[in-house]
Each structure stands twice: as structure tokens, then as C-alpha cells.
Amino acid sequence: MTNLIDGKGIAAELRAKCAERVSNLILNGIVPKLAVIIVGDDPASHQYVNSRAADCKAVGMDSTVYELPSDTTQSELISLLEQINVDPKIHGILLQMPLPIHMNPDEVVVHISRDKDVDGLHPINIGMLGSGKPSFAPCTPSSIMQLIKSTGVPIRGKNAVVVGRSNVVGKPAAMLLLQENATVTICHSKTVDLKEHTMQADILVAAVGVPGLITGDMIKPGAIVIDAGINRVDGKTVGDVDFESAKEVAGAITPVPGGVGPVTRTILLMHTLDAAERINAGN
Ligand code: NDP
């Protein structure tokens, strides 16, 4: 029988641990704090960043949301980042993507202090991940790893197939799987026979943005299936995996919603606490 991987439950357990870590830091005179920056007026993004602030509050952390107008210049944004970088009261920085089209994200992210780069955007942090010494990995791939590990199935030696090669999800997820000694295949839109690859996967990660792309007949019986996709179809949120057919074949599977998303939000808190604890330890 398929095991449903309960992202909400896992997130709740991780948050309880976060609350303990916050208490310890506060005892040492440090109130962990996340800065969230959003540029522009996309309502969904604003809802997203405001819920990050609520997540912080729920575990006793502090946060500040910087809501910048869409005509903010790139140099104004960089000045703000540089100001936050040297603010000793702020330990983590989340820069909400995408930025407005008049900005070049590559030119902006290099101005996030790599010690506060809790979503792993800085090229040095990306390079550290590629070299097998991750400092901060992006939150969604870290969440994917947490969910795979929650099954208790060892990753070492398994065939892992990641569908999607974006810099924020697919590629870093593949790097993290490689670091755990999986044999990793990365598929993308130019992959010739996707099913041929997915059928080999003991661990299958979907990070595509195409609703229901992965169907049950593309899954190896007993595989762990992690669906990072978030797609709106007929007013509902669905993943990249066709859940109904996939659950008949998979050994374990994440639902959408309630799988990768809640754990990703919690990883952001965990990374901010990592940053605050490093400062507390004098590193
Ligand atoms: P991108 O659009 O940046 O990347 C999509 C990837 O999927 C690309 O590598 C693309 O290939 C590949 N792809 C597209 N179509 C196909 C296809 N038919 N077959 C195989 N591969 C295909 O998306 P993201 O990585 O940013 O996001 C992926 C999904 O994850 C989205 O649904 C997004 O909403 C969700 N997401 C979820 C998060 C969470 O916390 N749960 C956080 C971030 C994103 P190519 O490179 O060749 O174009």
C-alpha cells in the first residue's frame, strides 16, 4: 500500500524543534530574525511573504518584510541589501523572486551576504553545493531531501531521477541527491523518452510546472515520488504528478498541496536559525 508522505506533519515536527532552538538563542541574547524583501505588487507574492512572517512569529522568531514599489531601481534594492547585510539584528535574507523585469537577478543576488543567504541564491553558495560542501542550499531542494529521508529508505546507491533542471529546484535537488550517494539522472524538456528514465527511478523528483506530467505508468513500482510542482488548474492546486494514478504504483508519495510546500517554508526558518547559531558560536 502506498505510504502518503505527510509534509504538513513533518513540518509541524520540524517547527517544534525550531521553537526550541529559538528559545536557546534567546537565552543567549539573540532574537533570530528574517528579512523578507519583495519588489512589486503581485498579490500572490505578497501573500507568500506575509505568510513567511507569520511562520517566523509562530516559532518565536522576529521578521521584517520590506515591500518595495515596482519602480524601485536595481541600485536602490542593492543599497537595501547592503544595509541589511551589516545589520547585526538580521540573520537571514529572503529575496522574493521573480524580480521586476528591469532588474537583473544575477547582478542583485551577489549583494546578499552569503552568511545570511538562507535561500541559497548567492553564486558562492551555489558553487559550494556543486562542490559537495553546501553552506545554504535553496529551501525547496532541501525540503525534497527532508521528505525523502522521512521515509527511512536509504538514499545511497539508489537510482534518483529529477525531472526539471532549474537553478532553484531541479539542479540543486540533483546535487543534494548526488551528495547522498544516489546515482542521479536529470531530465528536462529536451529529454527524448522521459518515461524510459522515470521507470528506472527508485526516487523520482518532479519539479517541472506541468500539471499531471508524471502518470502512474511512468513510475517504477515501489518508488519514492516527491512532487514539487505547484500548478493552478480549475481553481485547484495540483502537482506535476498525476496523484490518483501515481499512488497506485508508488511506494511513498507526497501530496500537493501538503507535501513539499509546508516543509520548504519550515526549512527557511531552519536556515535562518542555522545563520543565527553560527553567529552565536562566533563563526
Ligand atoms: P522552471 O520553469 O524554472 O523549470 C522547469 C523545468 O522543467 C525546466 O528545467 C524544464 O526544462 C523542465 N520541463 C518543462 N517541461 C518539461 C517536460 N514536458 N518534460 C520534462 N521536463 C520539462 O520551474 P521551477 O523549477 O522554478 O519550478 C518547477 C515547479 O516547482 C513549478 O510547478 C513551481 O511552481 C514549483 N515550485 C515549488 C516550490 C515549492 O516549495 N514546492 C518552490 C519553487 C517552485 P528546460 O530546462 O529544458 O526548459
Distance CA 24, CA 127 (A): 32
For ligand 1, atom 18, the nearest C-alpha belongs to: 189
Does residue 188 have its Cβ closer than 6 Å to ligand 1?
A: yes
User: Is the CB of 228 within 6 Å of ligand 1?
Assistant: yes
pTM for the full model? 0.97
Question: Quick check: 49 pLDDT over 80?
Answer: yes
Distance CA 144, CA 42 (A): 26
pLDDT of amino acid 186: 98
Q: What is the mean pLDDT of residues 102-117?
A: 98
Question: How many whole angstroms from 28 Cα to the centroid of ligand 1?
Answer: 41
Q: Whose CA is nearest to atom 6 of ligand 1?
A: 164
pLDDT bucket at 283, cuts 50 / 70 / 90: low
Q: Whose CA is nearest to atom 30 of ligand 1?
A: 229
Å from CA of 148 to ligand 1 middle: 19
* Cα 3 to chain centroid, rounded: 22
Q: Which residues contact 95 (CB under 8 A, 6 or more apart)?
A: 37, 81, 108, 109, 112, 119, 121
**CA 172 / ligand 1 centre spacing (Å):** 12
Mean pLDDT of 79-105: 97
**Which of the four pLDDT bands, split at 50, 70 and 90, describes residue 45?**
confident
Does the CB atom of residue 259 touch ligand 1 within 6 A? Answer: no
